[in-house]
Chains A and B, each alone.
Chain A
Amino acid sequence: MIEALKNRLIELTLPKPVRDRVDQAPLRLNSAGFDPWGLDPKTVKIATGLLRWFYSHYFRVETTGIERLPKGRVLLVANHSGQIPFDGLLLALALVLEATPPRIVRAMAERWVPTLPFISTLFARCGTVVGDPQNCVELLNQDECVLVFPEGTRGSGKSIFKRYELQRFGTGFIRLALETNTPIVPVGIIGCEETYPAFFHLRKIAKKFGAPYFPFTPLFPFLGPLGALPMPTKVTLRFGEPLKFEGDPDASDRDIQLKVDQVKSAIRSELSVGLAMRGRQIFTQPGK
């Protein structure tokens, strides 16, 4: 009966062409309909159906260069921001709704995500995997589309005063790309850095809750759950030219850092073009 309800929900929220797009995404499922990380295409459809409105009407997402996305294995590397990772969500929706062929993004999540009830299950069904290098290697070897935010919580937990300043990047993603011979697509995400303008963080309270950070925004925590409402900024996703690296995955940190800096500057240039086009109007449609 639950299955019938799910099917009805999908029919109600997703028009057939969009439903078919999810089915077109290259996946490897077992007889029960899941992949080894717990991805379930049906949950992806439900999530897409429920969140499509946010994508096209709330954040009015626009993409540029999505056609540059290579077929087969690919590593998406983007700037991270916004306390609650809407950037990853919108990027994932863009790849289901607009990429050809449609892709289901495999986002690398923090290792504590599996400890969260409900969220852990929902994330896994939608394609998120624990950010372990071995997971990443195996996904790339299966020609999946993997999303990493090398800034991690350094990026998502930064204050509004540091918006669009790229924080220190981890270097592991370059080694993984070299090991699996995967092209890297740099993505500049514009608009998500203002969704939760955090003025400052309370480290001690965060530590007490076991959270990575505890932000103070104009609405949070004073308005309680309402404070979780993101600002309706306009979001632009700028996909850069794929970068193909060659070399030894076990090279010294210095050599790897040079490649990391190349990716970082590619993201930075996407960001600066996007920001220049947007100007000061962060909520409205920019003039083209």
Chain B
Amino acid sequence: MSDQRPTILITGASGGLASIVVDILTQDYRLIGVDPRPMPMGRNFPGEFHQIDYSHRKMSEIFRQNRFFALLHLGRVRADGHTTKSFRYRVNVLGTGNLLRLARKYGLQNLIVFSTFHVYGAHQANHVHIAEDAPLRASQLFPELVDAIELDHVATTFMWQYRDVRTVVLRPVNVIGRRINNTISEMLRANFCPTLLGYDPLQQFVHEQDIARALYLCLKGDKSGVYNITGEGAIPWSKAILQAGSIPIPVPSFLAYPLVGALSKLRLSFPEHLIDYFRYPTIVSDNAFRKDFGFEPSITTVDALRSLRPSGS
């Protein structure tokens, strides 16, 4: 093969985040994308793309045929309306386990795992600026989130056990942006957005461009560890909705939980335990990431929220 660039394996390649990240990486790296979902219509992956489940035995063939410089594991399946618990467990836990086993077997040098700040859990006693060494309360609060927490555990255990692979586990806050299709971005893009009546916790957001740059810094850096990533500042949920150009609709909690519970059974909404993230603040600290990787968010929270709509109004 004539291509001498180092090769990166990207999971979750069909997702919005991957589409932004590959734009930055395609210059310096040869890219191979995998995802259990098909590539969306009208989008081309700049490199090889395989539609495959990460726990499938054919993953090892991809590792056998390539020598990867890095694995960018962006492919965590979120708990939104379209996925079942068992599917999430298979992809997030069994799939990640399989990827890490192969990474070890075929001499991977750099591993970057995209976890989430949800692992800290939304709790009334949360202090502000939760650091990476805080207990992962979500396991006790929301058993439904077990796949996300276990993914985080699998990755951090791997990091401590196999120090020859440089491993970075990232716990970003809500990623928002025009090309991102996660629950929070979709909620903010809608004309009306629910809030919990009487509760208005601060939320942290990070813009898609900033998170892509953070991933790039991780690839270029030499540190390993667990890191939170946040944007510029925290903002109350109702204000975030207004800044994004949507209209907040307060829903009393005695209605919100059963309503969302029923809708999520019909796969029309996120699971009801995620409502707690709109009830109690979960504010994390990104001091470690800023210090170790020289990261500084370039887009303010307000600008990030305003960028969600094409008109910007």
Q: A residues engaging B (CB < 8 A)?
A: 30-32, 34, 36-38, 111-115, 117-118, 120-121, 124, 129-130, 132, 134-135, 138
Contact A34 B124 (CB under 8 A): no
| B11 to A: closest C-beta gap in Å | 33
**Per a CB cutoff under 8 Å, which of A31, A113, A135 touches B233?**
A31
A232, B44: Cα distance in complex, Å: 73
Instruction: Tell me if B235 is interfacial: C-beta within 8 Å of chain A.
Output: yes
A5, B17: Cα distance in complex, Å: 40
Q: Which residues of chain A are within 8 angstroms of B196 by Cβ–Cβ distance? A: 117
Known contacts A31-B302, A120-B199; is A134 also within 8 Å of B127 by CB? yes
A32, B237: Cα distance in complex, Å: 12
A32, B232: Cα distance in complex, Å: 10
- With A31-B300, A117-B197, A132-B127 known, 20 other A-B pairs at CB within 8 A are A30-B235, A30-B300, A31-B232, A31-B301, A32-B239, A32-B243, A34-B234, A34-B236, A36-B129, A38-B281, A113-B124, A114-B281, A115-B124, A117-B196, A120-B198, A120-B199, A129-B128, A130-B124, A134-B127, A135-B128
**Per a CB cutoff under 8 Å, which of B126, B199, B202 touches A34?**
B202
A111, B126: Cα distance in complex, Å: 9
Contact B128 A30 (CB under 8 A): no
Instruction: Tell me if B253 is interfacial: C-beta within 8 Å of chain A.
Output: yes
B residues 97-139 in Cβ contact with A at 8 Å: 124-129
Indicate the member of B124, B253, B301, B303 with the most A CB atoms within 10 Å: B124
| A112 to B: closest C-beta gap in Å | 7
**Per a CB cutoff under 8 Å, which of B125, B199, B200, B302 touches A130?**
B125
A135, B125: Cα distance in complex, Å: 11
Contact A111 B124 (CB under 8 A): yes
Smallest CB gap from B123: residue in A? A114
Instruction: Tell me if B283 is interfacial: C-beta within 8 Å of chain A.
Output: yes
| A277 to B: closest C-beta gap in Å | 40
For the complex, count residues of B whose C-beta is within 8 A of A.
Answer: 28
Q: List 13 A-B contacts (CB under 8 A).
A: A31-B232, A32-B300, A32-B301, A36-B233, A37-B202, A38-B236, A38-B281, A111-B124, A117-B196, A121-B236, A124-B202, A134-B127, A134-B129
A34, B280: Cα distance in complex, Å: 16
Q: Which residues of chain B are within 8 angstroms of A115 by Cβ–Cβ distance? A: 124
Contact B301 A30 (CB under 8 A): yes
A118, B200: Cα distance in complex, Å: 8
Smallest CB gap from A29: residue in B? B233
A34, B234: Cα distance in complex, Å: 7
| A27 to B: closest C-beta gap in Å | 13
A132, B124: Cα distance in complex, Å: 11
Known contacts A34-B233, A38-B236, A38-B281; is A117 also within 8 Å of B243 by CB? no
Contact B199 A37 (CB under 8 A): no
9 closest Cβ pairs, A-B complex: A30-B233, A117-B198, A132-B127, A32-B235, A31-B300, A114-B124, A134-B127, A118-B198, A111-B125
A30, B283: Cα distance in complex, Å: 14
Contact A34 B235 (CB under 8 A): yes
Contact A37 B235 (CB under 8 A): no
| B233 to A: closest C-beta gap in Å | 2
**Per a CB cutoff under 8 Å, which of A113, A121, A124 touches B198?**
A121
A38, B126: Cα distance in complex, Å: 13
| B243 to A: closest C-beta gap in Å | 7
Q: Which residues of chain B are within 8 angstroms of A111 by Cβ–Cβ distance? A: 124-125
